[in-house]
Structure formats: C-alpha cells, structure tokens
Amino acid sequence: MAKEITPELKLEMASVMKDPARRLELAEMIVEYVNVGHITFDFIGQLLDTRALNPGDMLIKKLRKGIKVWSHVPGTIPMKSEITVSERLNYILDYAVTGVTANTQELAQGDIGTVESMRSEMMAKLRDFYVAKVFTALTTIWTSVNTPSNYATIATAVDKTTLDAMIKVIIRSAGGVRAIVGVRDVLQPITEFAGWAVLSGATTTLIQNIGEELARTGWIGSYKGIPLVIVPRDYTDPESFTLMVPDNKLLVVGDKAGEFITYGTPTSQEYTDPRIVPPQWNLNIWQSFGFIIDYASRVGVIKIT
C-alpha cells in the first residue's frame, strides 16, 4: 500500500532537498533502485575459454602439425616428420567504448547520481556488451544452409529428441559438452524430461535429489550431467524493450570451442568542457577485446521458431 504524503512527510522531504549532502544520498538511492539488470562477466567463461592479455602479449595462435610416431627396426635410421604450421590465427582486436555526458550543475544537484555510481553502471554495461557479442555470435554461427547437423529448428519448445541428438553431435566433435545455454523460458521445458522421474510399467520412481531441487526452486541445474546456464532475459533499455541476447535460441557448447580475450585493462577519460556554461562533464571508458571460434563444429544451435 502506498504511503500517504502527509504534511510531515512533505516537510521532511523539503529538509532533505535543502541539505546538499543528504540530497546527494537521496539521488544515489534512486539511481541504484531503478538500474536495469546486468549479465555477469563470468558468464563468458562458461561458453569459451577466457584470457586477460596485456599490451605486448602474443596475439597469434598457431596450430603445429607433423609430429608422428613410427614403427622402428633397430639398426636403421629412424623415420622423421617435418614440423609444419598449417594455420595461423591472429586476433583482430575491436574496441568497445561507452561514454556519458552531463551538465556540472546537474551533478552538483545530485539529480542523476554520483560520478562513481555512473562509472560502475558503465563498467556493467561494458560487460553486458561482451556477453551479448559472444552469445549472439555463437547463435548465428550455424544456419539451416551451412550445416545439417549442428543446427536444428523446432516449432514450439525444445524436446528430448532434438536436444539429445544435438548433444551427440557435439560429443562426437568435442568429446564433451561444456554447457547448455539459453534464456530461462527456452530452457524451462527441459525440466519436463530431465529424468527426475523414471517410469517402469505402471510404476514411477522419483530421483530424489533432482525432484527435491525442482520442487524447491522450480529449476534443475543440469541435464545428463551438463550444466544448464541461464542467460538473463534483460533489455538494453527498459523503455525500448530491445533484448540484450536472442531469446529464441538454445546453444549446446562443447569443450575448447574457442577463446575470448580482453587486451589491457579498461581505460577511462574524464574531463570538463569549460566552453559551455555551466561546464559540461564527460566520461569515456574503453577496452580492447577479441574472440576466435577455433572449432565451430563444437557449437550446436537449436532455434525455436
């Protein structure tokens, strides 16, 4: 129930607004309260290998071939293989940048929050950008045209037959499956066929630990021992309803499919333009990043049409 705005409450609010320090605290509280959700950076590590490189570190990945083992007859010159490098994969770095600007008078009044709160929000947005970039790239790596096995479509919701078939495809290529990934409503149907109950004739046996987890949380953490990773179904802007990531695709990601790197720490630039009256404050944050999908065959895509 909403609290009635009494004369006493109005007086208290007026006293807060008169005090610059207390007004700033109020602004911080409001900004934090309405912040949109964010995707944690650790999520990328559940899809690809990750490395944080520094300027000067090697950016080239080489695939060395030619080392073989031969049968040998004692007393003869052994066979040798010439070592070759069949591929050189060079990271092409991109820059991600986020910048904000505000009038210094607005900053002083605390209407838009503190500089530190905006800096934290910008760093969170930078991480969101990386996650969206990687997840979207993986969901578009295969189509119905370029592969018959690593891509599947299904009309309404993922089912056991389609998911099991895709898991087999990835296991053949990667030897193991790292994660099954998607937004919550795409993954939710898996709870219906995840093996928490075994039917034998007219008898149903409940797998206790899985059944208890499902009853307690409405969710299960894995399917056939493969982690189910939920991508938050959030928006880049809560008013535009533009999704951060595709909400109609499910990924089955195998081991060592690729790698994501950041190159150097985030760099910031903060300055005030004195030509404008009142002066205009600016803050920019940027960082280099890149990723390579070494083995696209270790990624499976299921699209919900």
pLDDT at 180: 93
* Alpha-carbon distance values, 270 to 79, 169, 224, 267 (Å): 63, 50, 50, 10
Question: How far apart (Å, rounded) are the C-alpha atoms in residues 173 and 164?
Answer: 15
Phi-psi region of 66 (alpha: psi -120 to 50; beta: other; left: phi over 0): left
- What is the pLDDT, as a whole number, of residue 13? 62
For residue 17, the model assigns a pLDDT of 61
Residues 224/195, Cβ–Cβ less than 8 Å: yes
Choose among 103, 134, 226, 241: nearest CA to 171: 226
CB atoms within 10 A of CB 95: 10
Q: In which residue ranges of the chain is pLDDT below 50?
A: 1-2, 29-41, 204
> DSSP readout, 21-56?
HHHHHHHHHHHHHHPPP---THHHHTTSEEEEE-TT
Q: Is there a contact between 115 and 268 (Cβ–Cβ < 8 Å)?
A: no
Tokens 């390579």 -> residue: 292
Condensed to tens digits (0 to 9), the pLDDT of residues 162-193 reads: 999 999 999 999 999 999 999 888 988 888 77
Looking up tokens 């720490």 gives: 265
